[in-house]
């Protein structure tokens, strides 16, 4: 519920606008749901706009029309419900990269992928998935960006701070080990924290916490999350 899908949609849109081929693969959303998310992002529209089409005014119609044209013209390829089996998923990524000259692949999300063998426990499975995705990214010379859930321990952590850290990555330390970058989303408002340590309001505020960055700096990036519109984030 932190907004990882919305953030990756924004990132994918920004990259496509820079003429990078982008594949967005969701293991939980239909093609229709993904398309709506991209249209809302491109048109800077409330995600609930599709729930009340009878209330469309001229501005909404113009925004949607422009967003549809942009999405059609951008090198974004949407794949709904690809196989959750790791080997089949790797084959699909190879095919997409070769056929469409894709340079960035988004996977939403890691915990829905499986190895398909009962020989491994879940921690071992996640390790295999992370290793094989990393090997494929190097082999194809592409970037693979994978959404991941956190463990519940961040919510149960004693004290006031709910800021995520590397140990909160769910089910395996292999995520931290194999990833070139780990970026957490943090919204204090989500946890009912109304003011920060400087007594400033947290409403609609978000931080992108770069906790691992191979050959780069570890930084906290403040972001204004305007949920009545799409999040405007330039990554």
Please check the confidence at residue 232 and state whether its pLDDT lies above 90.
Answer: no
Q: What is the average per-residue pLDDT within 96-118?
A: 89
* DSSP E strands, 81-219: 102-108, 143-146, 181-186, 205-213
- Report long-range pairs for 124-128 (Cβ below 8 Å, ≥24 apart): 126/171, 126/172, 126/174, 126/175, 127/172, 127/174, 128/86
DSSP line for 196-220: -TTS-B-TTEEEEEEEEETTS---E
Mean pLDDT of 102-107: 96
pLDDT, mean over the chain: 86
- What is the per-residue pLDDT for 229? 39
- Mean pLDDT of all residues in 132-141: 95
Alpha-carbon dihedral sign for residues 68, 69, 70, 73: positive
- pLDDT for residue 145: 96
DSSP 166: G
The pLDDT tens digits of the residues spanning 138-182 come to 999 999 999 988 877 777 776 667 888 888 886 667 788 889 999
């Amino acid at each position: 519920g932190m907004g990882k899908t919305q953030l990756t949609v924004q990132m994918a849109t920004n990259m496509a606008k820079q003429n990078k081929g982008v594949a967005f693969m969701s293991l939980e959303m239909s093609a229709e749901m993904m398309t709506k998310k991209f249209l809302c992002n491109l048109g800077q529209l409330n995600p609930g706009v599709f729930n009340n089409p009878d209330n469309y005014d001229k501005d909404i119609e113009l925004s949607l029309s422009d967003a549809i044209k942009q999405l059609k013209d951008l090198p974004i390829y949407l794949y709904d419900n690809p196989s959750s089996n790791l080997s089949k998923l790797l084959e699909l990524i190879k095919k997409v990269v070769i056929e469409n000259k894709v340079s960035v692949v988004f996977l939403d999300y890691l915990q829905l992928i499986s190895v398909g063998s009962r020989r491994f426990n879940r921690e071992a499975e996640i390790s295999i998935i992370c290793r094989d995705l990393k090997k494929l990214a190097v082999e194809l010379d592409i970037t693979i960006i994978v959404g991941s859930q956190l463990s519940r321990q961040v919510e149960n952590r004693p004290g006031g701070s709910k800021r995520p850290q590397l140990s909160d990555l769910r089910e395996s330390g292999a995520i931290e080990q194999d990833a070139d970058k780990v970026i957490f989303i943090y919204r204090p408002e989500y946890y009912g924290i109304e003011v920060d340590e400087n007594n400033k309001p947290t409403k609609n505020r978000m931080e992108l916490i770069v906790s691992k960055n191979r050959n780069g700096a570890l930084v906290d990036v403040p972001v204004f999350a305007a949920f009545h519109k799409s999040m405007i984030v330039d990554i």
